[in-house]
Amino acid sequence: MTIAPDTTRLGILFVLAAMLFISVNDMLIKALSGDYPLHELVFARTLIGIGITFIILHYEGGLKLLRTSQPWLHVLRAMMVVMANSAFYAAIVVMPIATANAIYFVAPLFVTLLSIPILGEQVGPRRMAAVLVGFGGVLLMIVPQMASGSGELGWVVLLPVLAAAGYASMAVLTRKLGQSSRASALSIYIQAAFLIVSILVYLIAGDGRFVDQDSGDSMVFLLRAWVWPETADLLPMAGLGVLSAAVGYTASQAYRLARASVVAPFEYVLLIFALFWGWTVFGEWPEPMVFVGAAVIIAAGVYVFLRENRPVPVRRG
């Protein structure tokens, strides 16, 4: 199929918009992390996002699209996203947003590895070598920080890697399930998982019983007590829900309107947006080695992608 140049340019604009929305989402969550637990922010975001997604589902065919013959694979996929989200957002509480995103860019390389056992795909020596080079880029970033950091920072730098592995698992399972499920249905399964998990965490730890003055910032963010939102915070909380739906729509439109080989490299602009928000809002600037490691990971990721010639989105849902 030949894609018109104007459509291709529109696809690029959509992926740039998706990356901007992701960066704003990360910035808002970090800005709110000092007063609210992650599961409360997730609950508020998902409550709005799932409503918007149900509207999209209605126009795609209605509730019948939610029927599936592989419910446990959907559950596993949703749990991978919940785990990945929790790991990534726990990381950005104590480390620069740009650093967390740079490490997270290893996700497409995890996808290549996971496609071997899950999808039965063959990965040649060139792609495998690129994957190993990309993981070397991760080591360039995390080893110095683990060596020089103390206490919580030592293990927190591993959280974006865990997030990348979780999202890669989700991406591979999406390829497997996407043959029989629509995008809106796949999104609703994930949104439902976020709602259920956030409610369960509230019931188990919503009074803050599992955190004290010795708990690190990441653990406090994950398990602090729920509080009624301040009036000034209601708008950004609602914005998180709108952003969640907007990311799904714009990213899907990008890959629908343009070839994946054209669109995917533009996803790395997320690092530029993350640098901007980290510097202007939080006064953050990554260590020099982060830029070196990010360059290695991005080069390896682009090479692997071009060899595979299919979308491996870095977006977080």
Is residue 283 scored above 50 in pLDDT? Answer: yes
Q: Over pLDDT 90: what percentage of the chain? A: 44
Number of domains the chain is built from:
1
Query: Using CA atoms, how far apart are residues 32 and 233, in angstroms rounded to an integer?
Result: 8
Question: Quick check: is 145 in a domain?
Answer: yes
Query: Using CA atoms, how far apart are residues 185 and 199, in angstroms rounded to an integer?
Result: 21
Residue listed under structure tokens 């065919």: 61
Q: At 113, which amino acid appears?
A: L
- Helix (H) or strand (E) run with residue 131 in it: helix 125-148
Question: Quick check: is 316 in a domain?
Answer: no
Is residue 186 scored above 50 in pLDDT? Answer: yes
Of the given ranges (24-38, 163-177, 205-219, 303-317), which has the lowest mean pLDDT?
303-317
3-state helix, strand, coil in the chain (%, to 5): 80, 0, 20
pTM of the shown model:
0.87
Question: Quick check: is 18 in a domain?
Answer: yes
Question: Quick check: is 236 in a domain?
Answer: yes
Token pair in block for residue 259: 């070839």
Q: What is the pLDDT of residue 150?
A: 46
Question: Quick check: is 202 in a domain?
Answer: yes
Of 178 and 99, more confident = 99
Token pair in block for residue 129: 């070598």
Average of per-residue pLDDT across 271-276: 95
Q: What is the pLDDT of residue 151?
A: 46
Question: Quick check: is 193 in a domain?
Answer: yes
Contact present, 10 and 258 (Cβ < 8 Å): yes
Of the given ranges (142-151, 210-219, 231-240, 258-267), which has the lowest mean pLDDT?
142-151
Question: Quick check: is 179 in a domain?
Answer: yes
Q: What is the pLDDT of residue 309?
A: 58
Query: Using CA atoms, how far apart are residues 256 and 246, in angstroms rounded to an integer?
Result: 15
Question: Which domain range does residue 57 map to?
Answer: 5-308
Half-sphere exposure of 225 (CA within 13 A, CB side): 6
Question: Quick check: is 317 in a domain?
Answer: no
Summary mean pLDDT of the chain: 85
Token pair in block for residue 267: 């996803």
